[in-house]
């Protein structure tokens, strides 16, 4: 059985930063994530997309943010159970918890912090009869590695930010990009719509509206898609890849059966104090929680993780008084023996 102070369910940015804040309090952390690598959505869904609202980073790729967070917490030696889903939780007589994964791995912790983002994700698939036959054979619902499309013909379907952003990005990677949307109007950011229009005028993106992909052509792999454009006969577009980007459907999964108070697929917490749930000792931070005024932003998750760790310390050590020290003053003492601190001023008498 794996034993730790804080068991973090979800190894996305909020979960990873929790390790750092807990480490400053000398609390050990272990993380569970159903994905095979840390980073959550940043690693699995959009590793190559830029993020613009991380403090001190005018722009940082999602995958690079994960790398930086992993580098920041290395000194606190967190444990990881990856590729497994937190399945059941049992509260012990002493107030601690045992969490068991779908593969039977047991974890014993004093505190449980649910940082599972929006939960597990399932792509919203278009109603095309034979689409399942071509999954991973030219049909992809998530773009993980843009280089896969180098010098290939690509058809993207969708009308939101993701469809627009990837059509724009792949215009410099793929040999041909076609964007298909069932309406003339797109739901994306204005600058993205204008950029897509500009690329269309330059002949770098084909935009077909209002239209829908109704069928996939091919035997062992995708070779084309059948398109129906309003008011016209159906036609076929030759392509190597068909990427329907209609969003992802989040699901809480087994956590939804843990007796937590749920509201609109999110976990209700006490945001006036410490983001604790209706079960003492279980917290929810990041996109997985909800409270009045909630904003689903990574930087808000960082803030919630910080306050949660302070509360967790008081719960674990009720008789100890913790005096917060700024890292600029006290430095950072890692569990691996490292010490990071600002150089001390040299005091020398004037002769």
Please enumerate, by residue number, every residue annotated as part of a binding site.
Answer: 14, 33, 41, 46, 86, 121, 287, 328
Q: Which residue's structure tokens are 């008011």?
A: 231
Identify whether the C-beta of residue 155 lies closer than 8 Å to the C-beta of residue 241.
Answer: yes
Residue with tokens 């999602």: 62
- Which residue, chain included where needed, has tokens 């627009």? 164
DSSP assignment string, 256-274: GGSS--EETTEEE-BTTTT
Type and span of the H or E element at 212: strand 211-218
Stretch (H or E) spanning 24: helix 13-24
Residues 241, 149 contacting (CB under 8 angstroms): yes
What Cα–Cα distance (Å) separates residue 142 from each residue in 1, 19, 104, 263? Answer: 35, 28, 29, 28
CA distances from 135 to 123, 150, 244 (A): 12, 19, 11
Cβ atoms 287, 296 nearer than 8 A = yes
β-bridge pairing 86-91 and 97-101? antiparallel
Detail the residues annotated as belonging to a binding site for FAD.
14, 33, 41, 46, 86, 121, 287, 328
């Amino acid at each position: 059985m794996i034993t730790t102070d804080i068991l973090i369910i979800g190894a996305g940015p909020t979960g990873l930063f929790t390790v750092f804040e807990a480490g400053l309090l000398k609390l050990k952390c272990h993380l569970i994530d159903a994905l095979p690598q840390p980073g959550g959505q940043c690693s699995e869904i959009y590793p190559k997309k830029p993020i613009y609202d991380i403090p001190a980073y005018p722009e940082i790729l999602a995958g690079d943010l994960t790398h930086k967070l992993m580098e920041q917490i290395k000194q606190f030696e967190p444990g990881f159970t990856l590729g497994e889903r937190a399945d059941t939780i049992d509260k012990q007589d002493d107030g601690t918890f045992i969490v068991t994964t779908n593969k039977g791995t047991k974890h014993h912790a004093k505190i449980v912090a649910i940082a599972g983002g929006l939960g597990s994700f399932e792509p919203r698939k278009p109603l095309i009869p034979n689409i399942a036959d071509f999954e991973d054979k030219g049909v992809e619902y998530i773009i993980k590695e843009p280089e896969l499309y180098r010098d290939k013909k690509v058809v993207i379907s969708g009308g939101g930010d993701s469809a627009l952003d990837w059509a724009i990005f792949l215009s410099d990677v793929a040999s041909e990009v076609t964007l298909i949307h069932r309406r003339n109007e797109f739901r994306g950011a204005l600058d993205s719509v204008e950029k897509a229009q500009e690329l269309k005028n330059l002949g770098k993106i084909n935009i077909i509206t209002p239209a829908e992909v109704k069928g996939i052509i091919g035997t062992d792999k995708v070779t084309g898609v059948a398109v129906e454009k309003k008011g016209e006969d159906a036609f076929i577009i030759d392509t190597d890849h068909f990427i329907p980007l209609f969003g992802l459907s989040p699901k809480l999964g087994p956590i939804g059966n843990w007796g937590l108070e749920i509201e609109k697929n999110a976990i209700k917490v006490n945001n006036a104090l410490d983001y604790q749930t209706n079960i003492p000792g279980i917290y929810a931070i990041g996109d997985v929680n909800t409270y009045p005024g909630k904003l689903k932003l990574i930087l808000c998750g960082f803030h919630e993780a910080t306050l949660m760790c302070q509360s967790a310390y008081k719960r674990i050590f009720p008789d100890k008084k913790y005096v917060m020290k700024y890292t600029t003053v006290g430095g950072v003492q890692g569990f691996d023996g490292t010490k990071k601190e600002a150089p001390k001023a040299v005091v020398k008498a004037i002769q």
